[in-house]
A and B are shown apart, each in its own frame.
Chain A
Amino acid sequence: MNKFYALLLLLFSTSVQATEFKQCVHLLHRASFGLDSTHLNRCLQQADYKASVSDLMLRPRNFDSIKAPKFAENILRKPKKNSAQIKTERKVYRAELHKGRGALKNGWFKEMLITDDPFLEKMVLFWHNHFTSSLQKVKQPALIYQQHQLIRKYALGNFAELTHAIIEDPAMLIYLDNQANKKSEPNENLARELLELFTLGEGNYTDNDVKEMARALTGYSLGKNLQFKFKKRIHNNSQKQLFGQKGDFNAHDMLDIILAQEATSIFIVHKLWLEFIGYHPDAKEVKRLAKVFRQNHYEIFPLMTALLNSPFFTDAQVRGTMFKSPIEIIIGTLRRFNYLSFDPQTGVRYAIRLGQNLFDPPNVKGWPKGKTWINANTLLLRKTFLNRLTREQAMQQISNQLFKSPAITGTLEEQMIKTLLPLPACMEPATNSFEALQDILQHPLYQLK
């Protein structure tokens, strides 16, 4: 009997340990920016996978204490057309805009680079690609910053609250032209994207629903200081109807009706599935997760807990089958080697060349993602970037990056492969560890997560 239990214990302990390491690799690739020594060790130290997920997701978060950076304090005033010094004023205005834009993008990049809360940052990226706006159109860095802070606050908070807040967000109102949405002349842009891209998804509403929502959104506009202002005079306060309900609804009431539809929860879960699990969402599992979402009153945290613990996420077949986005490959590599002093502006520029311009998605649908990240040009650029990076001084101290853990065995090279690639790989033996590192970063699997 003792022998039996001993065997069971042995089996249990080895199987838990082995699963833990590979599952940590997968979890951190998908829900973080890849492995970094702090997070890998934390992940491995937890009692089981569920606890590892919890540890990654749970961090003390306090958003109230964040002070706005200088560029974000004020709205930049466009010089008046009849101004005597229009030329100089215009120059100054453009310079300020340019500075503010740079500060925003570099700031976000830096935040992702040094963060202790990479899971939150992944969620912030996701929600920015969901509730899209662009600096190009909105222009004011202060307003984009305001939206960014809003998204950050609710990224792991409540989706319903986030959506309610976003329809009064100045950057969003500008981006989707809602200032031009008046009772006399409705502009359907915000209403349409709200239904199509932000909540229900195509096929779950009619053109008439868009019209009703647009009517409800009339007057949701901005004051002279570019902050939210409800303009009663241009608001259409007639009866509205949506999904069989009729009444004196304002935009928030309409939104509540939309959020009450099962389709909304399914649409959001579907999107999160594509973001974290990859392809082929399973209809039944999506429904189950959508139910979790609704039962928790649209709290994102319990949904993500369920998703990251879903057998569809932990399935070994899923590992290493998604493409790393430009930000993921740049930030991920830098974090892996603890290269936190890397110039954010350079990082932002590489990401732009690779197709991911922070705060400037190509259109309201967001970055196209998936396969479109990789073509002959971008793949070449990624590899060139990685090659250049490995030759930098700061990257050459790889021996310091060795993870001292019983879970990772083998030669330095084997350890590097295990902690850098999402899947096991065989490689030609290199002459030295530096060459091995270069080879690993050039390996096609390094592009995947």
Chain B
Amino acid sequence: MNRRTLLKQMVLHSLAFPLALEAKNLLAAPLAVNSKRLILIELKGGNDGLNTVVPYQDPNYYKLRPNISVDKNAVLALSPELALHPSLLDLKDIFDRHELAIIQGVGYPDPNRSHFRSIDIWDTASSSHQYLDRGWLTTFNKEPLGLIKGVVLGGDYGPLTDMPRGVIKINNLKQFLQQSKKFQGQIYKSGKNEALHHILKTETEIRSSAEVLRQYISNRDSLAFKFPRSTFGNQMRVVTELSNSSVGASLYKVSLGSFDTHVNQSKKHAALLKELSQGIAIMRKNLMQSGQWDNTLIMTYSEFGRRAAENANKGSDHGTAAPHFVLGGKVKGGLYGTYPSLSSLDGNGDLIYTTDFRSMYKSVVNEWFQVSSPLVEQFPSLHIL
């Protein structure tokens, strides 16, 4: 059997149709530039909410944290009761412009204090005793448009786990493109072999995604406002560039950490919050310039907050509820929810949550993307958009 003849014949098979569709999608991509996007910032390790949004007038706060409480004179007041950590100067500015919604006391019933279990709960929007397999972003009733639907730049797939197609995870964009060059592939027949079909489909996905990304790389303009050359800075830069490009993905995930500050918290935490605040501010400036800020929603999340009382090592241990930030051009800025009480803690000495995290997700699903997901329906809406 002449291999070349066989190869030519193999072109006429099931993959021919999906390829045609993808060519169509590539043409459709420019239309997707102005569609809405969500940028998730995972604060890996459990961000200390008490020192992020500080109850600076509450005497309990200083009693619980004689060593690690934030300096009362340095905080950035948001209200008579609450203030931001001084590192978050840029976020204070965005708050003053009414584009930052601070959701207080975000958590869930029966909180789990294990990193792995709790982040699973947040990623899958499950209840504390439920084990779900798929990321919550994959449970919408309508699939996002476009060839590349989601891009993960930091951490694992998390909320995008098991999206059937269209999600790429790039630790290093250049490397991804280099490696995918080897896929200028041959075409094979899969017949009834479902496993082979899945492999071939995935190969096609890699090739097409790489092609789209290569176009973005060759056409990208450098951003007016530069990001610092750090891991987080690079992630934020790529997301910003992709947001300005015709790649058209609507879901992005980046990761900053580690916030797991068990020992000598103050300096570390201050530095991380500064990175977060500055990174967001630079992203906002760039997106405002390109007209994409109104199409953007940024949301932070973390596996848990930290305990109300400090520990013996000038740090804090795994806790429960914490505040989170949701911001964007269309967000109705302000303080949402109720600050968890420092005088009535739970049996473990931890904060009792006041906003279920699925309410926060609901804003993304219903209010932002205007789709639905069974995982968020029964929770109260926050109306932040």
Contacts and interface: CB of A to CB of B under 8 A. Distances in A.
A394 interface: no
B199 A448 contact: yes
A321 B133 CA distance: 23
Nearest to B148: A376
B250 to A, nearest CB: 17
A279 B194 CA distance: 10
Contact of B182 (A323, A362, A387): A387
B3 A376 contact: no
B199 A426 contact: no
Interface stretch (B103-111, B200-208, B277-285): B200-208
Interface in B139-163: 162
Interface in B1-58: 1, 3-4, 6-7, 10
A445 B206 contact: no
B131 interface: yes
Nearest to B4: A428
A376 B166 CA distance: 9
B3 A429 contact: yes
Interface stretch (A3-11, A13-21, A378-386): A378-386
A375 B195 CA distance: 12
B206 A380 contact: yes
B118 to A, nearest CB: 13
A113 B88 CA distance: 51
B3 A321 contact: no
Given A368-B133, A380-B179, A137 B199 contact: no
Chain A interface size range: 35 or more
A320 interface: yes
A370 B14 CA distance: 22
Interface residues of B, number: 35
Contact of A374 (B6, B7, B199): B199
- Looking at chain B's contact residues, the main secondary structure is helix
Interface in B76-97: none
B193 interface: yes
Nearest to A374: B202
B114 A137 contact: yes
Contact of A444 (B10, B133, B176, B199): B199
Interface string B185-226: 010100001111011101101100100000000000000000
Contact of A379 (B7, B206, B312): B206
A322 B203 contact: no
Contacts of B133: 368
B3 A136 contact: no
Nearest to B152: A377
Interface in A124-145: 136-137
Contact of A384 (B179, B193, B194, B203): B179
Given A323-B195, A368-B133, A375-B167, A426 B202 contact: no
Contacts of B199: 323, 374, 379, 444, 447-448
B182 A444 contact: no
B195 A322 contact: yes
A363 B132 CA distance: 11
Given A376-B209, A429-B3, 6 more contacts: A363-B131, A365-B131, A376-B167, A383-B183, A387-B182, A448-B199
Interface of B: 1, 3-4, 6-7, 10, 114, 116, 120, 131, 133, 162, 167-169, 176, 179-180, 182-183, 186, 188, 193-196, 198-200, 202-203, 205-206, 209, 312
Interface of A: 81, 136-137, 279, 320-323, 362-365, 368, 371-372, 374-377, 379-380, 383-384, 387, 425-429, 442-445, 447-448
19 contacts: A321-B194, A322-B195, A363-B120, A371-B195, A372-B162, A374-B198, A375-B202, A376-B168, A376-B205, A377-B168, A379-B206, A380-B176, A383-B179, A426-B10, A427-B3, A428-B4, A444-B200, A445-B188, A447-B199
